[in-house]
A and B are shown apart, each in its own frame.
Chain A
Amino acid sequence: MPDDDKLPRSLSRRWWRVLKAFQAGESQEAIEYHVAKATAETLRITRGIPELPALGAQMYLDAATGYGADGSSRRALPAHIPTRLAWQAIDVLSAVMKERLVLTSPDAAAQLLARRVVAEVAYAFGLDRMAPVLMSDGFDPVELRRRFEGIARSNPLGELARRLLAHPDGSGLRAPGRRRLKLATADLMDVDIEEML
């Protein structure tokens, strides 16, 4: 039976900037910060996930008590995409790391959930949309996947997840700024100018 699958591929201006950074060969670290900015903007515009801390705590409680373990099969997922991604993340975390969840705390579980949700938002609104384009540009899909995984695990997205728990509705959510190490003048002599930009 024909599928007529829909593959959303439009990118916001911030995500377009990430695509350009890949195409221009910018460093992985620089791209990580671009992705954190774009993800923060996406979460601001889509109004975050107001119930995220409560969802995290509930996930911990369900794991500890053994309730709510039958997955999402017939549950009507919400229309709001970040919330939908959060619910899916709960299903996944409950399915694949239930034992570990029991050993955490409600706060730690919320942090774990936020970390996964932030990465999923980055994939859904940006990274996965640009993957086919970058492959057309000659990027090897295996290498691209490895780089995307690195971004999902990166410190800027981890910090963004922590901030999202403090601003779950997305208002005032900002990505962490790119820190530049202060180098002694003597050390600066050995650093390429390009590397400092």
Chain B
Amino acid sequence: MTLSGHAVVDRLSRALPGLAADLLEIAASIHAIDRLVPRPTERQRPSGTVWTRSLWADIPVREPNRWRQQAALLTQLLHWLTDDDWSVEFSQLQSGAGVLDTPQQFLFDTVPDGTVPVLFSGGLDSAAGLALELLHGDAVGISVHTNGLMRGVQRRVLATLNEASHHQCVPLQYRVSVHNSTETSQRSRGLLFLAAGVATAWAVHQDHLRVFENGIGAVNLPYLRSQQGAQATKSVHPLTLRMVQDLASAVSNRPFVIDAPAIALTKAELLRRTPSTARKALGLTVSCDVGFAARVPEHRACGACTSCLLRLQSLSAAGLTDLLPMDIHERRGHDREFNLNAMIWQVTRMRACLDSPEPWQRMVSEFPELIDVTGLTQQEVVRLYRAYVEEWSSNEDVVRSHGRARRESRTVALCLMRPEARPDNPHR
């Protein structure tokens, strides 16, 4: 595993505090383990069980006693995020031996006090949120990239946002890469991003972090009841944010707040609030599940995953149709129709609940996962899903038909090809 914070330290002209470096190294180590240990397949695990693994880690840190005291909070958080049974131990790291340690001394702070730390992934929500933040003042945009493509997207989006704003966002990018990884689910990725955010906030003497994610994506209710636990990812779930906040507060012995200003909004509602000057930057963002994967030809969006479909729906509902992706890369095994039907199925169930005289009770009964939602009132939850259902009512046709012409022309082109020339021919 490679973890590099040089770019951040150089840009800040400030070393990461020991506790901040510990947090980030813990999150990176956990992420590496998560990516290196394959989950059991459905055939390999006992019948009727989820994809749980039993994982153990011994992580060298600068302040092991502090972390040992909070080990229960950490393992609880990890179980919630990954469905795995984690056992984490901490040992003493030799002075100066940490990957984030720097021998350099700095004289001046280059980031003014009061600059707001904002998490920035390179996706639509975080770019929209940063654009809103830059209306009011300067910010630091904290991101983690795992390959050059992701780094490039994050840089371009931030540069474009800066061009369009009177205020400036200082880009702070960490690099994390795991070599020879075999597991693609990487449910600990959310912790890695949040840890980078908290660590950098501490480095700039702040006790809060801002995370922009729409409520629908953050809560991420299962589309189908066959999805169990973290099969519907919980990277920025309100409970995840609260658990990371609690961990940061407990380990530092002072309150830390993770603020999610867009949690009561749908993705389209967030986009509608974004200044029009940010439109160009929004067009550069990537939402696709495989959009940053190096293996995808020309790095085009797949147009079939639930992230791509939600992006389509929200851009259409927000009236940003000029940003709808025209160039998609459909992969074999990615069933756009199944995914879209699953999303519509979920919306159908929601609509039936929301139309009833007791919408909250019906929603909880249909989606028990709502019990875990913190930080939103029952009324806010009901309003959020009403807005989401309404958006689908007027945009389902757009999402369903988007890219159809291109898909159909590709099918015709494949039919016209000689069999031996087709890309799906194994003997080609």
Binding site for B on A (CB under 8 A): 1-10, 42, 45-47, 71-74, 76-77, 79-82, 84, 88-89, 91-92, 95-96, 120, 123-125, 127-129, 131-133, 135-136, 141-142, 144-145
Contacts and interface: CB of A to CB of B under 8 A. Distances in A.
Given A1-B190, A91-B371, A79 B361 contact: no
A24 B292 CA distance: 43
B338 A46 contact: no
A4 B305 contact: yes
Contact of B226 (A8, A46, A73): A8
A-B complex: 4 closest residue pairs judged by Cβ atoms? A46-B48, A132-B341, A141-B348, A128-B225
B226 A128 contact: yes
A3 B374 contact: no
Contact of A84 (B228, B306, B338): B228
Given A7-B226, A81-B228, A2 B79 contact: no
A3 B217 contact: yes
B231 A120 contact: no
20 contacts: A2-B289, A2-B290, A5-B232, A7-B231, A7-B339, A46-B47, A72-B372, A74-B243, A76-B79, A79-B50, A81-B48, A95-B364, A125-B226, A128-B226, A135-B341, A136-B338, A136-B341, A141-B348, A145-B348, A145-B352
Contacts of A10: 42
| Chain A binding surface SS class | helix
Contacts of B186: 4
Contacts, number: 162
Interface residues of B, number: 65
Given A1-B235, A46-B48, A133 B338 contact: yes
Given A2-B289, A81-B48, A91-B371, 12 more contacts: A3-B289, A5-B231, A7-B231, A73-B372, A77-B229, A80-B48, A88-B368, A96-B365, A124-B225, A129-B224, A132-B339, A141-B344
Interface string B272-301: 000000000000001111111000000000
A123 B223 CA distance: 12
Contacts of B239: 73
A82 B42 CA distance: 15
B371 A73 contact: yes
B154 interface: no
Interface string B53-90: 00000000000000000000000100110010000000
A9 B222 CA distance: 13
Most buried by A among B121, B223, B344, B348: B348
A145 B224 CA distance: 12
Contacts of B307: 2-4
A3 B306 contact: yes
Given A6-B227, A46-B48, A1 B193 contact: yes
Contacts of A128: 224-226, 345
Contacts of B227: 5-8
B337 interface: yes
Nearest to B308: A2
Given A8-B227, A135-B344, A71 B339 contact: no
